[in-house]
Amino acid sequence: MSQQGISLPTRPDSWRKRVRLFRDWRFEESSKFARKARSDRSVYFACKRLLDAAIAGTMLIALFPLMVIVAILIKLDSPGPVFFVQERVGAKRRRTREGAVWITQRFYFYKFRTMFQNSDESVHRACSRDFVGGYIDKFVDEGEASIKFKLVNDSRVTRVGRLLRKASIDELPQLINVLAGDMSLVGPRPVPPYEVALYKKFHYERLTALPGITGLWQVNGRCRVPFEEMVRMDLQLIRNPSLWLDIKILFLTIPAVLSQRGAD
């Protein structure tokens, strides 16, 4: 992986100043780990896009009645909008004369709202700092048998929101992001700019892929997986692009969601 036109920030500057640079970042597609011919990779990405559009469109139509019911429950439970919209960092693949590059971008990410309106965002920023920084002791709960790398007993979450999160139903609006081409069904999870601003240089390789709704991290424990292990899983997925692996992850996501593994 290489980066063109700008040097990576190394000082702990404000996240707003650092993420302002993302619009101009280009990462060359790595050939060190993916030795396939360019035509093969182009076919893979074309097939992946067709699969994304077909499945996302079908699911949106099939699940539309459920999504309407969820929207009504959210409005009845607490004041505020139905959807939670947040800026996230992702990337899109572009072809140039020099070859394929991944251009970082910021896009609007959709979820069903599970928190009270105007909740304090600094709580999640602090959690992100601890997660990326590897401060495991911050996530130890004496009442739990295993560590969860997430906010637990979050008072910002509504009653309906807890149910939606437990069943992963709050993620359904991301199918709109998939249809729009900002996300894929399978890929690294997109994160807010303030979390990307905490990355070390070698973490940026996880941005060289279209972000996804599910991935190896989701089917292998989700919030029970530490940050460095999550990055390792993302890089394994990015360095070994395979339509069969994508389909396998989609099928593995079904029991992961039904068992609520890592979602509680």
d(CA 114, CA 83): 9
Closest residue by Cα to residue 173 from 84, 250, 262:
84
Give per-residue pLDDT as tens, 126-147.
Answer: 888 888 887 776 565 545 555 6
Q: Return the higher-pLDDT residue of 14 and 134.
A: 134
Q: Which residue has the higher pLDDT, 37 or 158?
A: 158
Burial readout 41-76 (b: 16 or more C-beta within 10 A, e: otherwise): beebeeebeebbeeebeeebeeeeeebeebbebbee
Instruction: Return the residue matching tokens 């002791």.
Output: 137
Cα Rg of the chain (Å, integer): 19
Which residues is 107 bridged to in the sheet?
A: 88
Mean pLDDT of the chain: 82
59-69: pLDDT as tens digits: 999 999 999 99
Averaged pLDDT for residues 194-212 = 90
Asked whether the beta carbons of 25 and 92 are under 8 A apart, the reply is no
Confidence at 9, pLDDT banded by 50, 70, 90: very low
pLDDT digits (tens, 9 = 90+) for 75-104: 999 999 999 999 999 988 887 777 778 888
pTM of the model: 0.82
Q: Which residue, among 199, 188, 214, has the nearest Cα to 59 in the 3D structure?
A: 214
In the chain, where the domains are located: 3-258
